[in-house]
Amino acid sequence: MPAEGFFIHQFEVGPWDNFVYFLGDKSTRSCLVVDPAWELDVILNEAAKIDVEISGILCTHSHFDHVNMVDPILAKKDIPVYMLDKEVEWSGFRCENLKKMSAGETLDFGKHAQITFIHTPGHTPGSVSYKVDDSLITGDTLFINGCGRCDFVGGDPEAMYYTLSSLVEKLDHSTNMYPGHNYGDVTVATLTEQLESNPYLRQPSLGDFVAHRMDGRTPNSPFPKVSPEWVAKIESVQPKR
């Protein structure tokens, strides 16, 4: 592996097949962690295993299963946390060192990376995807052969349709799509590949998309509950207030 450049490291955590990402600089071995959730020990051990230092947190959105290890990491590291301003305002999410970012804003990281905050509403009003070079970290906007649910509180299938249409229109189709959950038969795919196989990118109209995405779903449904054993595990590492 070259000593210089940028890397994306993907690994899975928790009971809901979440992906966590390290976006890092090879020369400094510093990284940003995307959507830290579920298992503090796994995240910290993974950083040690590949010899990187976590120096910041990026959150694609505020749902519990993407942020429940933010506070435990902050209890160990005095680092910034980045979330789109629209998501902060909608959700009321709060933590130490919170930096509200605007749609289209960029964050320079290391010597080789510039991360662009792309507003991708639909799953939540302030969901964001992170564009880095030829890659997009999509959170719960786009999965491999799927897309994020739009029936939870704050979800909007029409907004999701226009979000996905915009990504198809504006991104190079060779862009690597890195999803927020391991729901597909592969863990990463190009936009070209998804245009061929993802049913949510193949709907001919807004009406068809909304009907397909909301089939069997009830708008403004509550977020799923976590099993008691996972609640206990998460609470065991939460810092005392």
Tokens of 60: 């694609």
The CATH number of domain 6-215, selected from 3.40.640.10, 3.40.1710.10, 3.60.15.10, 3.90.580.10: 3.60.15.10
- Residues 112 and 3: beta-carbon distance below 8 Å: no
For the chain, the structural domain boundaries read: 6-215
Question: Average model confidence (pLDDT) for the chain?
Answer: 96
pLDDT digits (tens, 9 = 90+) for 111-169: 878 999 999 999 999 999 999 999 999 999 999 999 999 999 999 999 999 999 999 99
What count of other Cβ atoms lies within 10 Å of the Cβ of residue 13? Answer: 22
What single DSSP character describes residue 185?
S
> Looking at residues 225-231, what average pLDDT do you find?
95
Structure tokens at 222: 């509550």
Q: Rounded to whole angstroms, how far apart are CA atoms 235 and 67?
A: 13
pLDDT of residue 112: 79
The residues that bridge with 137 in the sheet, in sequence order, are: 130, 178
Among candidate residues 114, 91, 88, 113, the one with its CA nearest the CA of residue 102: 88
Q: How far apart are CA 163 and CA 166, in angstroms?
A: 5
Beta-bridge partner residues of 113:
109
Q: What angle do CA 8, 107, 135 make, to 5 degrees?
A: 35
Q: What is the pLDDT of residue 4?
A: 74
Interatomic CA distance for residues 158 and 87, integer angstroms: 18
Q: What is the pLDDT of residue 74?
A: 98
Phi (first) and psi of residue 9, to 5 degrees: -115, 125
Record the tokens describing residue 82, joined without a space.
Answer: 């980045």
- The amino acid at residue 101 is M
The tens digit of pLDDT for each residue in 69-107 reads: 999 999 999 999 999 999 999 999 999 999 999 999 999
This prediction has a pTM of 0.96
